[in-house]
Structure 1
Amino acid sequence: MKAFKFLIGTVAVLALIAFGVYHFGTKFIADEVMGQVAAELETSGQLDNLKKEIQNNPELRTFIEEGKNADSSKLPFKTKEEATRVLLKKFDLAEINDIQVKVRQGMSASEQQELLTKIQSKLTEEEMLALKALAYKELFK
């Protein structure tokens, strides 16, 4: 009986540790990814290029402007960090790295459409609207 209690206690402690690592690990990774991406965009001048590309592409501009009037109280996330957490849960790190490499190297219109379709297939409509709202807020603040 003592061995059984010890086994149950050990399993419970390990489960709590695993939950803590998962919860705080995803937060840590989300914070790190957002910090790196934001710093890279600002220092490399890619943020200005991205803004120009959005202004010059009416389809992309219309797509992002859908988030302009979104009711933020009804969105599943409101900050970049929360969005990163959701994306880390929906996509594995290899997919995120692949996307990041493609974006850095430049993407054709068909590749952009393929990426958008892939993202839309994994996210709900509310999550997509929240991403559009965040993108609009960040790009046009």
Structure 2
Amino acid sequence: MKVLSRIVIAFLAVLLVATTFATTSQAASYKPKAGDILITSKKVTGAPFLGHAAIVTDDGRVAHISGPGAKPIVRTWASWKKDYPKIRVVRHKDANIAKKAGKYARTKIVPQKASYAIYPTLLSTGTQYCSKLVFQAYYFGNGKKNQF
């Protein structure tokens, strides 16, 4: 039950953040933009949950953590699209904030190589999961905590 409540808390936090963003559906002509949040309903390998989230970095790649036993990584857009062909894109209204979030994910979160674990502490950096990585990129990435 504790795990379920932690998941619900994390999900609600991501929804709260998403209210500041414009949402668009994935189209064949979609071009990744720094800070875009990518959400898919496809289950990640080994994870007990459905769905996955990632963020487009400032260099056009994708930062994410794929599940139990994984560490945060950055991969190419082409490889992401191949594994997750059906996605939902959430784009921040302010391109500068979005770019800073994408850069933060690439330069600060991924290099930490945190272990995958789901805990309700969204601000701790010792462990990561997919939506927490996205949340922290925006929370810490713009230089002003909690300024989405």
TM-score calculated relative to the size of structure 2:
0.27
Larger strand percent: 2
Q: Which has the larger radius of gyration?
A: 1
Considering fraction of residues, name the structure with more helix. 1
TM-score normalised by the chain length of structure 1:
0.28
